Structure 1
Amino acid sequence: MPEITIQAADGGSFMAYVAKPRQTMAPVMVVIQEIFGVNQVMRDICDDLAADGYIAICPDIFWRQEPGIQLTDKTEAEWKRAFELFGGFDVEKGIDDLIATVKVGREIEGSNGKVGTIGYCLGGKMAFLMAARSDADCNVSYYGVGIDALLNEATGIRNPLLMHVAEEDKFVPKEAQAKFIAGLKGNGNVTIHVYPGMDHAFARVGGEHYNRDAAMQANQRTAEFLKKNLK
């Protein structure tokens, strides 16, 4: 079952890549894409989560603009198209699609009923919003963008949220980081780790700013967080 179709709340449907573990009655992780679509990087993350015992579902949240697009971070033309899609992305409809995906995750064959989300870049922002607006059991945000402008959402966070922040993120200025870190400090459901010297997408294998040590540390923290909250 490499792909499934999910019905959107406002009509239409979208594709989601699915990776399943060998065992049944497993928790589900909704993997939220970067600005490059459900590409090989996202599919590899799903496959790794399946190897760790999770059902991983990565929905195509760009489907309203260009269904099935898969870009890389290797060419200027692909970066340009990725930013066009990012600029045209409807966050509100994206959240609706992710909530629909969580619902499917609770009911999909082999699910134990528990569902978390994990997102990167744009997906990191969406994971933050899912923590505030959805009933997902836990959420993980890797170098989410624009979160400083979303602090009014923080009061809605009632389930655990883990955030990985790149100290030298070229898309999230230090002032923005300081603002949301301070703004979330009083919420006991939120755990934030800052990675000194790291740039955006430090955990993207093969990416320009990939850092093996920092990625391993973040991923280990994520693994422990998911085990605690979903297994």
Structure 2
Amino acid sequence: MSNATFVQLSAHTGENFEAYLSTPARANGAGLVILPEVYNVNHWVRAVADSYAADGFTVLVPDLFWRQQPGVYLDYDEPDRARAQGEEVDVDGVVSDVGQAAAYLRAQLGDQAKVGVIGFCLGGRLAVLAGIRERLDAVIGYYAVKLDQHLAELPELEKPTLLHFGETDPWVPQQTQESVGAILADRANVDLQIYPGTGHGFARNGYPPYNADATAVARQRSNALLATLT
């Protein structure tokens, strides 16, 4: 079992923003920042955070869109509104928020505690950029969108990284997957996995196009990387 609540974090600018904090009954000493889809800190990603807390991680899920309108956490029946939020997001600002979230976790766990980041969709894009720019120890991205906009920065990704892509994902097309793969393929710190016959959101249990087998394999691979944090 985990305990969950919302806490206030401080941005670099001094403003406060909300994050969902899930703490384990038995902490393993490591932290995780989980970055949600464009639907933001909704019930699904909170359940994901709780599942990692059940594994011993102390987990934070920050509000991605507080600069636009704080506390807008959407269900999956509002895709247009969610995508509109995603198009307006302050990418650089949220990436810096990830650094602040990691610092918050280290304040709780100790300055030498290792902190990883996991992101889904838009959150996957932000996770990769945070892995480049912020003090983090591992990066996991599920179907990270728009990485083709950051190809020049990707060679700076030096942290242990695992990227999951769906083979038929319309939001991360094959051309993008190939472009990212061409840059990262020879990097010993990066593991790029493509899941045959799966699309965008294949790990979102309870909602199509959820693929249970791919999700289980992806979680197993993710757990293997996260084990290096503890």
| C-alpha RMSD of matched pairs (Å) | 1.4
Tell me by how many angstroms 1:120 deviates: 0.2
Spell out the pairing of 1:1-231 with structure 2 (5 A cutoff): 2-24=5-27, 26-73=29-76, 75=77, 78-109=78-109, 113-227=113-227, 229-231=228-230
Aligned mates of 2:154, 2:111 — CA distance in 1: 29
The amino acid that maps onto 2:131 is A
Cα distance in 2 for partners of 1:4, 1:94 equals 17
Any conservation in 2 of the 1:25–1:112 contact (CA below 8 Å)? no
- For residues 27 and 223 of structure 2, what CA distance do their matches in structure 1 show? 19
Q: Using the TM superposition, give the Cα deviation of residue 149 of structure 1 relative to its aligned residue in structure 2, in angstroms.
A: 2.2
What is the count of residue pairs matched by the alignment? 227
Cα distance in 2 for partners of 1:125, 1:173 equals 14
Aligned to 2:24, the other structure's residue is in SS state coil
- How many Å separate the matches in 1 of 2:48 and 2:120? 11
SS of aligned partner of 1:26? coil
What is the distance in 2 between the residues matched to 1:66 and 1:209? 29
Q: CA deviation at 1:111?
A: 8.2
Q: Is the 8 A contact 2:155 2:184 kept in 1?
A: no
1:53 Cα deviation from its structure 2 partner: 0.8
Cα deviation 1:181-213 (Å, max 9, x = unaligned):
111112221111100110001000112110111
Asked if 2 retains the 8 angstrom alpha-carbon contact of 1:125 and 1:146, the reply is yes
SS at match of 1:119: strand
Q: Tell me the secondary structure at the aligned position of residue 9 of structure 2.
A: strand
Kindly state the Cα deviation for residue 25 of structure 1 after the two structures are TM-superposed. Answer: 5.4
Deviations 1:8-62 (A, max 9, x none): 1113110110111112452000000110010001100110001111001101111
CA contact (8 A) 2:28 2:57 kept: no
- C-alpha contact 1:5 1:13 (8 A) present in aligned 2: yes
Deviation at 1:92, TM superposition (A): 0.6
**Contact 2:164–2:192 (CA under 8 A) maintained in structure 1:** yes
**What letter corresponds to residue 53 of structure 2 in structure 1?**
A
TM-score norm. by structure 2 comes to 0.95
Point out where structure 1 has 5 or more consecutive residues left out of the alignment.
Answer: none
Return the offset for 1:110.
7.5
Which whole-Å CA distance do the structure 2 matches of 1:145 and 1:118 have between them?
Answer: 14
Instruction: Please tell me whether the aligned partners of residues 107 and 113 of structure 1 are also in contact (alpha carbons under 8 angstroms).
Output: no
Tell me the CA shift for residue 127 of structure 1: 1.0
Tell me if structure 1 keeps the 8 A contact 2:31–2:114: yes
| Identity over aligned pairs, percent | 36
Q: 2: CA distance between counterparts of 1:34 and 1:214? A: 18
Q: Offset at 1:95?
A: 0.7
1: CA distance between counterparts of 2:203 and 2:103? 28
- Which amino acid is the alignment partner of residue 63 of structure 1? W
Residue identity opposite 1:35 in structure 2? V
> C-alpha displacement at 1:109, in angstroms?
5.0
